[in-house]
Amino acid sequence: MKYLFFLVSFVFTALLTGCISFEYEGDTFAALDSKAPVKIWVSQEQYDGIRQKIGVLKFTSCSGATAAEIRNILREQARERGADAVLIVSMKRVKSGQVREDQLRNQAVPGWIVEDDSVTSSQYMTDTILYSSGKDPDKNLYKTSVTAELYRIK
């Protein structure tokens, strides 16, 4: 049972981080326990005590990463490096490409329709007119880029 838990945890982490890239500059200390609390700050004024900056973590995640997922990733990375606090320096959306509207809706490309009922036929005609005229409406895709400082609270 314990083996299964670790296997499932590993697979979930691999899937979650499969579309995330990390860059870290700084010191690494002994990893903290997986349940150790890690504070997340968005402003330096949130903590005025003694703290030691140990490094800067930059990561880019897939589009669609929620704020809660980003905080969990920050906490996990901080624990791995021995930090018990994170200051989010910047968080921004970065354009990562463009896609056609039919790709966003996961529709078939014109000409791939295998059934011919009134709905698919009218959609096929709409797509054919739209895309054969050279108009290919581009929708922007974004990734989330985060820069954070890792701290040890003294």
Confirm or reject CATH 3.40.630.30 for domain 18-97+141-153, answering yes or no: no
Higher pLDDT, 102 or 37: 37
Reference 72, options 127, 18, 31, 16; nearest CA is: 16
| 99: phi then psi, degrees, rounded to nearest 5 | -145, 155
The fraction of the chain above a pLDDT of 70, given in percent, is 61
pLDDT of residue 143: 86
What residues does CATH 3.30.110.70 cover in the chain?
18-97+141-153
Q: What would the pLDDT profile of 39-70 be if each residue is shown by its tens digit?
A: 999 988 888 788 999 999 999 987 667 888 89
C-alpha dihedral, 150 to 20 to 90 to 27, nearest 10°? 20
- Are 58 and 108 in contact, with CB atoms under 8 Å apart? no
Q: What is the rounded CA–CA span in Å between residue 73 and residue 75?
A: 5
Please tell me the predicted confidence (pLDDT) of residue 150: 97
Query: How many CA atoms are closer than 13 Å to the CA of 99, on its beta-carbon side?
Result: 12
Q: According to the model, what pLDDT value does residue 4 have?
A: 44
Neighbours of 27 (CB within 10 A): 14
Q: Is the pLDDT of residue 80 over 90?
A: yes
Note the pTM of the prediction, 2 decimals.
0.65
Nearest to 72 by CA among 28, 20, 23, 24: 20
**From the CB of residue 12, how many other CB atoms can be counted at a distance below 10 Å?**
10
Q: What are the pLDDT digits (tens) for 98-132?
A: 766 666 555 554 444 444 455 555 565 565 555 55
User: What pLDDT does residue 58 have?
Assistant: 96
CB neighbours (10 Å) of residue 113?
15
Burial class (CB in 10 A: 0-12, 13-18, 19+), 43: exposed
> Would the pLDDT of 140 be above 50?
yes
Closest CA to 131 of 106, 97, 102: 102
